[in-house]
């Protein structure tokens, strides 16, 4: 089921729901500038066998409204969009999974709206700013400098095919060096996303959205929602030490390492990722 949900006046988000509508819900929150289609169909289908799985396009991505200059917003407003989607679908509480920026938004939901979460999963994101220091555990290791330099080209205007190739190269860098990179897999993904969005540019909106409201890391130590932290050892944006720190900070956390995984979700990581998510969700369900 696909639909558009209005989350603010003149701002609608593309939302897709799969699986039994009366089953426990899993809400998938993607990262910055990325369409919800980056969550692979194979992963969504694996989760949807026994759950209602929802993925969506953030504002200024995919088929959702692109209007930051007309309707500016903060990063915390993006997190509130997730709640607006649950409200529109009649879902009181959900298992919430966030990748990259989505991982920050999930952490904000953990401290700001824990009553809406059955469980949480964070991957590809360090702890929110302000988390208390821990001896011998690094809170935020730096992003690889060569990746930062490459991202400096992100918003340059390009023809459609050149844009696809730039994005494929970005996925290659995010994939890491352990799992073989299939360029055609990600080329097909980007062609699908561009067709879905009806445009091939990348919005600067998320880079301009005020992130300051996310600085609530000091509250993570009081979170009681069961949270899975997935360590992705080949991630050039979020080294494994960041995940260990986050897991040590959250009182009811479980740390799972997916060998070879970077900051992308190629076919090879779908089975272990689905198993980790379902194992966590099923454990929460029997507590």
Q: Are strands 52-56 and 253-257 parallel, antiparallel or unpaired?
A: unpaired
The distance of Cα 202 from the centroid of its chain, to the nearest Å, equals: 17
81 is annotated as an active-site residue: no
Q: Distance between the two ends of the chain, CA-based, in angstroms?
A: 31
CB 217 within 8 A of CB 246: no
Catalytic residue among 57, 60, 81, 235: 235
Q: What's the token pair of residue 225?
A: 């929602």
If you write DSSP's letter for every residue of 192-212 in order, what string do you get? HHHHHHT-----SHHHHSB-G
List the catalytic residue out of 17, 35, 100, 203.
100
| Residue 100 is a catalytic residue | yes
Which of 51, 200, 263, 280 is labelled catalytic?
263
Known catalytic residue at 32: no
Bridging pattern class, strands 94-99 and 117-123: parallel
Give me 143's structure tokens. Answer: 């992003």
Q: Which of 266, 25, 58, 222 is nearest to 128 (CA)?
A: 222
Active-site positions read: 100, 235, 263
């Amino acid at each position: 089921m696909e639909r558009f949900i209005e989350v603010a006046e003149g701002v609608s988000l593309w939302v897709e729901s799969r699986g039994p509508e009366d089953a426990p819900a899993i809400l998938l929150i993607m990262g910055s500038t990325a369409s919800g289609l980056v969550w692979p169909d194979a992963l969504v289908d694996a989760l949807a066998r026994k759950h209602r799985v929802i993925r969506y396009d953030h504002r200024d991505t995919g088929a959702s409204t692109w209007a930051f200059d007309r309707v500016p917003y903060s990063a915390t407003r993006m997190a509130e969009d997730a709640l607006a989607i649950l409200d529109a679908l009649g879902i009181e509480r959900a298992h919430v999974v966030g990748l990259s920026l989505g991982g920050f938004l999930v952490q904000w939901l953990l401290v700001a709206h824990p009553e809406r979460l059955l469980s949480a999963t964070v991957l590809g994101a360090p702890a929110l700013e302000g988390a208390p220091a821990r001896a011998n555990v690094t809170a935020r290791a730096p992003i690889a400098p060569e990746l930062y330099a490459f991202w400096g080209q992100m918003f340059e205007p390009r023809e459609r095919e050149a844009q696809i190739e730039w994005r494929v190269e970005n996925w290659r860098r995010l994939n890491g060096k352990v799992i073989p990179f299939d360029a055609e897999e990600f080329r097909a993904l980007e062609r699908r996303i561009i067709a879905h969005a009806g445009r091939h540019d990348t919005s600067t909106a998320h880079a301009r959205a005020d992130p300051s409201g996310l600085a609530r890391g000091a509250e993570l130590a009081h979170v009681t929602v069961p949270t899975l932290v997935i360590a992705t050892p080949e991630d050039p944006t979020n080294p494994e030490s960041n995940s260990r720190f986050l897991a040590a900070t959250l009182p009811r956390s479980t740390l799972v390492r997916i060998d070879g995984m970077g900051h992308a979700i190629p076919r090879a990581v779908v089975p272990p990722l689905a198993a980790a998510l379902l194992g966590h969700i099923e454990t929460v369900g029997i507590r």
